[in-house]
């Protein structure tokens, strides 16, 4: 005869299913948290960065080339008659305050068995840093499509460069072809050399899928630094250089009209549930609320763009308020029985020297200047 079992985990005697028989048992915390999409922000250290104080914008001065001539004995030396070198300016304005915030209810903190505040603060920091990278990369892309700010008659200064990955009619899949990427890097290095751009601080930024495609193909031909193997190679800086250009990976470069690449857009048939990691480009022109620099609309940026190669003078960012986190306290906490965690940042970015910016693109259709 079977015993009449009483399931101690059941609520109100409801115990027909396994879930009901275990309803009151404690859910133990594993000690781990599944963190959302986190990406390394890299752009801030790859371009010129200046601190903005007691002003709304920062001025950068361009000087073009000048001329030389042989001296005629007896003639006075009073400067060249072309009034060279030509001079132009670039002004970068600080955008409005960028914020990310969350309210933490004190009772939730008391009942929670994990640290809410540190996790929320971390995610707020990621949100600010992601925007930071995206706007700097969009500024570099904009510069690659621009002519030089120096436009004095008879003095031609080089502008930006756009290089097709592959040749002929091309295809979107060329963006992942290691051999074609390597060729494009050498073309970019030659273009930068021809325009007199310094070799110091040259970098390339690709999407992760491009990066890993590249290191699988070029690991044995001398392009990978033999001192940068194993885990170091996988972190994103393993390919030390191609043609003197150090390579990074980022999900924040505009790639074929979006940020990031998922299995589907990379032409893969492997299942990939959801495509949140492949975010659509947002409008971020100077007509957008809160933005004072022109990072382009989604339509302007969206193109066949698939990578950036640049030297640190290609763009600059100005910071009035560096990324920081603030937390309420005192009377505010008493009134609301909780605290607001606020991350804030005041920055602006724009291209500086178009000659130092190169945009990689697939197919014969390069993006237009904006």
Could you please state the CATH topology (level 3) that the domain comprising 46-69+78-361 is classified under: Major capsid protein gp5 fold (3.30.2400)
Confidence of residue 331 (pLDDT cuts 50, 70, 90): confident
User: What pLDDT sits at residue 268?
Assistant: 62
Query: What are the residue boundaries of the structural domains of the chain, listed by start?
Result: 46-69+78-361
Q: What integer pLDDT is reported at residue 76 of this predicted model? A: 78
Integer CA distances (angstroms), 330 to 333, 335, 342, in order: 5, 9, 16
Phi then psi for residue 63, to 5 deg, are -125, 130
pTM, full prediction: 0.84
Name the more confident of 98 and 266: 98
| pLDDT 10s digits, 280-295 | 889 999 999 999 999 9
Work out the mean pLDDT of the chain and round it to a whole number.
82
- pLDDT by residue (tens digit) across 103-136? 888 888 777 766 777 888 888 888 888 888 999 9
How does DSSP assign 79-143, residue by residue? --TT-PSPEEEEEEEPPPPEEEEEEEEHHHHHH-SS-HHHHHHHHHHHHHHHHHHHHHHHHHHHH
Percent helix, strand, coil in the chain, to 5, is 25, 25, 50
214/206 Cα distance (integer angstroms) = 10
Whether 36 shows a pLDDT value over 60: the answer reads no
């Amino acid at each position: 005869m079977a015993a009449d079992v009483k399931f101690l985990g059941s609520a109100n005697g409801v115990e027909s299913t396994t879930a009901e028989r275990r309803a009151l048992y404690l859910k133990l915390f594993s000690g781990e948290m599944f963190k959302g999409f986190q990406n390394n922000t890299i752009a801030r250290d790859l371009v010129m960065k200046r601190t903005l104080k007691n002003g709304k914008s920062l001025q950068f001065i361009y000087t073009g080339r000048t001329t030389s001539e042989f001296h005629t004995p007896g003639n006075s030396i009073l400067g060249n008659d072309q009034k060279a070198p030509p001079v132009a300016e670039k002004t970068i304005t600080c955008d409005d305050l960028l914020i990310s915030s969350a309210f933490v209810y004190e009772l939730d903190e008391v009942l929670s068995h994990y640290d809410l505040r540190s996790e929320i603060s971390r995610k707020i920091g990621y949100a600010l840093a992601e925007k930071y990278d995206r706007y700097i990369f969009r500024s570099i892309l904009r510069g690659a499509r621009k002519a030089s700010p120096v436009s004095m008659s008879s003095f031609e200064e080089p502008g930006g460069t756009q290089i097709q990955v592959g040749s002929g009619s091309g295809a979107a899949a060329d963006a992942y072809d290691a051999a074609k990427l390597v060729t494009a890097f050498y073309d970019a290095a030659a273009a930068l050399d021809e325009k007199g751009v310094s070799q110091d601080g040259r970098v390339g930024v690709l999407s992760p899928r491009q990066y890993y495609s590249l290191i699988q193909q070029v690991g044995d031909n001398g392009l990978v630094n033999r001192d940068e193997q194993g885990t170091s190679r996988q972190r994103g800086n393993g390919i030390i250089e191609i043609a003197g250009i150090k390579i990074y990976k980022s999900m924040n470069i505009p790639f074929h009209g979006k940020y990031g690449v998922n299995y589907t857009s990379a032409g893969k048939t492997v299942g990939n549930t959801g495509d949140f990691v492949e975010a659509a480009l947002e409008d971020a022109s100077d007509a957008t609320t809160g933005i004072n620099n022109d990072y382009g609309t989604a339509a302007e940026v969206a193109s066949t763009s698939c990578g950036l190669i640049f030297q640190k003078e290609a763009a600059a960012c100005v910071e009035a308020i560096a990324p920081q986190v603030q937390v309420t306290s005192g009377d505010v906490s008493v009134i609301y029985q909780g605290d607001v965690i606020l991350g804030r940042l005041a920055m602006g970015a724009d291209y500086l020297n178009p000659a130092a910016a190169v945009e990689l693109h697939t197919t014969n259709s390069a993006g237009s200047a904006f």
